[in-house]
Each structure stands twice: as structure tokens, then as C-alpha cells.
Amino acid sequence: GAVVSQHPSWVICKSGTSVKIECRSLDFQATTMFWYRQFPKQSLMLMATSNEGSKATYEQGVEKDKFLINHASLTLSTLTVTSAHPEDSSFYICSARPPSQGHNEQFFGPGTRLTVL
């Protein structure tokens, strides 16, 4: 199946700093990628839809100025958590769906564990 990677797999940062997380589709092109956040023992919460070459679409309640999304190419989307605070500590997961027929499922990255001290 298709492969989606994320980098880094985990990151620890100090409060007030910014952290960038990369999401790559390794063997397919994705015009659309999705970013989720998951707190311990909770479900995945969709944060935003990343669109190649255009602005991201954010879900209600997600601060677009805090979670900057850039989808500069068909294989890479980045999520930058700006001025991170301890409450931003979470598991961030991206996903994408290959555009070709026969791929009705989404493929998820392995996730990035963010810890803000």
C-alpha cells in the first residue's frame, strides 16, 4: 500500500518555541493531506485540510495563526506549531489518499509526539 511518513517521530521543545512537523507521501502525489491531533486515550481530532498550492482549511476551533500549514509540493505538507505551550503537547498525525482509482482508503503517517516543557 501507499506510504506516508512523518518527521520527526518525536520532539521535545521549550514553551514559546516553534516546532515544524513534516508529512510526506513517499510513493504517490497528494493534492490534499490532512492533519489530526490526538490526546492520550482520546480519538483523533481533525485539525485542518492541507491543499497543495493554496491555503489550508481549518476546522472550527483550530487557530490558524498558531498551527501554520504549508503544502508546497504534491508530496510534502508541513505543520508548524508556533509559540508552543504545554497544552499543545499531543500526538500529531497526518494522512493522505492516493488519487488513483482503487484507493478508497486514507493512509496515515506514523505520528509525531510533541512534548512542550
Partner 1 sequence: LAKTTQPISMDSYEGQEVNITCSHNNIATNDYITWYQQFPSQGPRFIIQGYKTKVTNEVASLFIPADRKSSTLSLPRVSLSDTAVYYCLVGPDPSSNTGKLIFGQGTTLQVKP
In the complex, the residues that contact partner 1 under the rule CB under 8 A are: 1, 4, 32, 34, 36, 43-46, 49, 91, 93-97, 101, 104-111, 113
**39 vs 83, beta carbon nearer partner 1:** 39
Cell of 73: 509540493
Residue with cell 494522512: 95
Q: How far is the CB of 22 from partner 1 (least distance, A)?
A: 14
**4 vs 69, beta carbon nearer partner 1:** 4
Q: How far is the CB of 109 from partner 1 (least distance, A)?
A: 5
**Residues contacting residue 72 through CB under 8 Å, at least 6 positions apart:** 52, 78
Q: How far is the CB of 25 from partner 1 (least distance, A)?
A: 12
Relative to beta strand 10-13, strand 4-7 is unpaired
